[in-house]
Amino acid sequence: MWVRIKLNNFRENKLGRYTYDRSCILYNIGLIHTSNGEHTKALEYYFRALERNPFLPQAFNNMAVICHYVRLSPL
């Protein structure tokens, strides 16, 4: 039974069903970097989150806020 569950989890992971979860994790890492003032690293993680889930409006919003306040060049 346990082996079957592990095999199903592996197959689902291989199919990319956990892409949403991974994008949220990357987004949260971006939030941590933002709160620490590491804006370049934060933008990197927001980009990585959007690569996995292009429909993550929070990442777009936070990127815009960083660009506005830090006055970075347009993305």
Q: What is the pLDDT of residue 17?
A: 58
Global pTM value: 0.71
Number of structural domains the chain divides into: 1
CB neighbourhood size of 34 (10 A): 19
Contact 49, 27 (CB under 8 A): yes
For residue 10, tell me if it sits in a domain: no
For residue 8, tell me if it sits in a domain: no
For residue 66, tell me if it sits in a domain: yes
In this predicted model, what pLDDT tens digit does every residue of 30-51 receive, in sequence order?
999 999 999 999 999 999 999 9
Q: What is the pLDDT of residue 11?
A: 60
For residue 4, tell me if it sits in a domain: no
Return the residue matching tokens 């292009």.
54
For residue 23, tell me if it sits in a domain: yes
For residue 1, tell me if it sits in a domain: no
Which domain range does residue 64 map to? 19-70
Q: How confident is the model at residue 71 (pLDDT cuts 50, 70, 90)?
A: confident
CB neighbourhood size of 1 (10 A): 5
For residue 45, tell me if it sits in a domain: yes
For residue 12, tell me if it sits in a domain: no
Does 16 have pLDDT greater than 90?
no
